Amino acid sequence: MTPLPVAPASCRPLRRGMGILPMSETVRHTRSLVGFPRPATNTSNPIGHKKHQKSQKPEPRGHSDFCDSLCFLWPSRPSVLRAFSPYSSHPLLLLLLFFAPCARASDDFFDRLDTALTFTTADARVRTHLSGTLELEGYALPQPSPGLLYTSGHSLFNPRLTLFLDSQLGPRVYLFAQARADRGFDPAAADPEFRLDEYALRLSLLPRARLHLQIGKFATVVGNWVARHGSWSDPFITAPLPYEHLTAIWHTQAPRNPVQFLNWSHQRPNSTSGGEQAEKILRNPIIWGPSYTHGAALAGTAGRLDYAAELKSAALASHPDDWSAGRTRWSHPTVSARAGFRPDARWNLGLSASTGPYLRASAAPTFAPGRGLADYRQTVLAADLGFAWHHWQVWAEVFTARFAVPRIGNADTTAYYAEAKYKFTPRLSGALRWNQQLFATIPDGRGGRAAWGREVWRLDAAPAWRFTAHIQFKLQYSLRHDPVPAQPATTHLAAAQLTVRF
């Protein structure tokens, strides 16, 4: 096979995770985003990049080193480790025990596989790379299940195979696609399915000015979590609260009156956890994960300023079922934008805004007389921060969202999170994240006012261990406070994730 040449910096594809790199390298590669979220691609060998050198890989120490690290992180919390007892016979832990002592040998296998999945023409004008990740996740969770976890039980096993296709066609054209085989876009106790989550064409209009046009189905440009939401790059297993906490907003119909809307928030004494669990498929967060919707985006860089704007087929809060090509609604598009500023290599500051209809067209019969989709919009203002210094990385985002609700008026909510990651060694890292969401009041239909949602906070802790440049294991413990009627206000979630990338 013809060796893959190193592409000029102006035409290299923008990749997701950067592997095990020094902090300065991570910052440098992150600056190549030019406003776009990076395609959720694997980076064991990005197109046009040289393979990892042997000297860059940390020396494996084996399974005993991994176990010692867990005891170091949680010496007084054996109950947290026991939370994974339902998975003691699952493939997750069996593969973990297999990969730990075989880490050194696996590197050679993945290097050969990477070479076999890379193709280039004789004139080097077309370069294509197929890569992927295998993720095995296990959850021990309360009921009703929190966030975007769909199960009626107290445990959930979620395998996922993700395939990425990246193709560089000359210096100005780049194609990428992402396909998944799993139990649903969000972890669920459901039958396996196969989906094409992303596909897009990116054109470099002005390579020197780094101005790009992207068309297809791809992640939103809003915020900074989307650019690092892949399992290899994200320090945590679950998404931050603004991306997964389901509110009283339904995308399928409008409330008849304020009393019904407040009942949808499940904070009244007559609310039941079973009813809340059954309604999860109808409810919406502020922003649904990476929001893989159809549309077009323009992004570029001017000095220290990054900018991006997109025209999309669905709002940030839209359900994944509304992202499909058959449900595009170009008569009422969503417009979003982000402006980022980098004072130096350590900092990345951003402001985002978005507005668009959040209700489905099928909900129109439940609207107030004379009103249409364009009258009921989701409007979001957001700010984000990224910081990297030596072994530290810090990220934070705050979202203020307003939903125009039929017969209610404006329903406002604010959600934010702040997280920090520290690398103890080239292999071992730990992360903490604080999340919170607050709700404004609305008329309650009885002459007073009431908050339209329960105020929720969550604390996440996640250690991660990288056996090699291709194998990673993460744990997560979450302490959540959510005053559900007739249920404990404080609940616990434990999760484990093994990621193998190729």
Q: Would you say residue 479 has pLDDT above 90? A: yes
Least confident of 68-72, 254-258, 347-351, 374-378: 68-72
Q: State pLDDT tens for residues 22-65.
A: 223 333 233 333 456 655 545 444 343 333 433 344 444 444 44
Residue 16 lies in a domain: yes
Residue 4 lies in a domain: no
pLDDT at 266: 79
Residue 298 lies in a domain: yes
Beta bridge partners of 388: 393
Residue 202 lies in a domain: yes
Q: State pLDDT tens for residues 398-446.
A: 999 999 999 999 999 999 999 999 999 999 999 999 999 999 999 988 8
Contacts of 344 (CB under 8 A, 6+ apart): none
- Percentage of residues of the chain with pLDDT beyond 70: 77
Map tokens 């026991």 to a residue: 82
Q: Mind giving me the DSSP string for 79-94?
A: HHHHTTGGGTTSHHHH
The C-alpha atoms of residue 422 and residue 390 are separated, in whole angstroms, by 9
Shortest CA distance to 186 belongs to which of 239, 134, 215, 149?
149
For 339, the domain range is: 9-501
CA–CA–CA angle 351, 355, 359 (5° rounding): 140
Residue 1 lies in a domain: no
Beta strands in 261-329 (DSSP E): 293-302, 305-312
Identity (one letter) of the amino acid at 28? R
Residue 2 lies in a domain: no
Q: State pLDDT tens for residues 321-332.
A: 999 877 767 888
CATH number at residue 217: 2.40.160.10
CB 436 within 8 A of CB 396: no
pLDDT at 350: 98
Model-level pTM greater than 0.85?
no
Q: State pLDDT tens for residues 64-119.
A: 444 444 444 444 444 444 444 444 445 555 555 555 556 556 778 888 888 899 99
Cis peptide leading into residue 144 (ω within 30°): yes
Q: State pLDDT tens for residues 152-179.
A: 999 999 999 999 999 999 989 999 999 9
pLDDT at 387: 98
CB 345 within 8 A of CB 28: yes
The C-alpha torsion from 100 through 106 and 110 to 113, rounded to 10°, is: -130
Beta strands in 57-208 (DSSP E): 118-120, 126-140, 155-169, 173-182, 193-206
The C-alpha atoms of residue 502 and residue 467 are separated, in whole angstroms, by 14
Shortest CA distance to 464 belongs to which of 437, 496, 441?
496
pLDDT at 90: 53
Domain count, the chain: 1
